[in-house]
Amino acid sequence: MQVLNHIKISYKNLLAVKLRSFLTILGIIIGVASVIVIFAVGQSAQELILDQVRGIGTNLIAVMPGASDENAPPAAVMGIVVTTLKYDDFLKIKKEIPEIETGGGYVLGTTTVKNNGTNLSMSFTGTTADYLQVEDTNISQGRFFNKEETNNLAKVAVLGKNSAKDLFGKQDPIGKKIKIHDYKFTVIGVLEDRASAIFGISNQNDTVFIPLLTAQKLILGINHLAFMRLKVNSLENIPLVKSAVATILRNQHNIDNPANDDFSVRDQASALTMIDNITNALRYFLLSVGIISLIVGGVGIMNVMLIAVNQRIREVGLRKAVGAKNTDILLQFLIESATISFIGGVIGIIFGIAVVFLVYLGINALGYNWQFLISLQSVIIAVSVSVLIGLIFGLYPARKASRISPMEALRYE
């Protein structure tokens, strides 16, 4: 009952200085909203990335150039160009490991694609004939290029849905010519619509696909692969295939000591674990930034409460004169600071959820499969931390108020 009286008094005191109370609460609102937004957006981004990796298939093995620790991303993922992985390596692996159903070699790039006076900067992927099977996707028009076209430097192209629309509008692109890097290519197919991707190879919808050797020799002037993907016939055989791939690549590259490996072999399970670890680390780092903004709001609460103590010295003296104890004064000021934090926390949660919902609408409008995720954990953390900060930063002003002498307070002008 006494606590309720303290809360009522706190509410009246807050209303008495509305502008000052609002500015103080605003710091907590921003801090709590930041925590909610960072946690929710981070979790949604993590799920989007993991879903895209899962969507490729759990029985895939990725081989990338450059060595790396098992729990860290390979150098190629960090944008470092490593040229140790070759097309001959890919052919050798496919030939000698019967547990591999199919596989694809990849190179990536960006170039200008021309069509009837239209010049567009587009991403392209050079890949092998089994791309459809490896990536578990389909053709909506025409066909994909075959093994002969891959090996013979054929100048044929398959367009993603958006690429076809950008280059040809409503026209049927099949059989028409486009110019890539001063070479004329014949469009032979259009891929089906696929959800936008932010991890792995370029977004299929916005990409031009050409035969691997054509991309290497004519467009990029290289002889190495960006990476390869291998589809294993069963999940149980993944460890066996990973070991066999590593053995073949060591033989191919004349490596005697595994510590000197110039490649990385990862399965989807380890890739998911790695991505989960990286995104969690980023999420909690950003969360700590949000909590710092809450601490800044707490400093504002302390400042306001110290001002309130100085302005209410006579009130404190009068209450002590009629029998209030030091603990009553301490509790009163602590409840006031906690009330400020709690109100700011509730408003911050509402504001944060609204921002997260707007982000959800905006990113889905761009074609990504973005989930609207509000974690109960983030709400509890945000409210708990905001109230705790109110108590911590209100403790010093409350103790200062509780130690005011009644005689000095009543004489205070």
Structure confidence by residue, pLDDT tens digits, 34-51: 878 887 887 787 777 766
Comparison of pLDDT for 286 and 80, the residue scoring more: 286
The partner residues of 185 in beta bridges, in order of sequence, read 178
| Domain range summary for the chain, segments of one domain joined by + | 2-52+274-410, 83-261
- Residue type for 115, please? N
Q: First vs last Cα of the chain: how many Å apart?
A: 33
* Contact (CB, 8 A) for 226 and 108: yes
What digits encode the pLDDT tens for the residues 236-255? 888 899 999 999 999 999 98
Opening angle at CA 287, ends 286 and 290, nearest 5: 95
3-state secondary structure of 28: helix
Q: Tell me the CB-side half-sphere exposure of residue 193, using CA atoms within 13 A.
A: 4
Nearest to 391 by CA among 339, 317, 347: 339
Contact 321, 405 (CB under 8 A): no
Q: Which tokens in the block code for residue 377?
A: 């954990």
Q: What's 260's DSSP letter?
A: G
pTM value? 0.59
Of 251, 282, 358, 349, nearest to 32 by C-alpha is 349
Bridging pattern class, strands 60-65 and 227-232: antiparallel
Backbone angles phi, psi at 179, to 5 degrees: -115, 120
Q: Which residue has the tokens 């989807």?
A: 268
pLDDT digits (tens, 9 = 90+) for 347-402: 888 888 898 899 888 888 877 777 787 777 777 777 777 778 777 777 777 677 66
pLDDT category, 23, cuts 50, 70, 90? confident
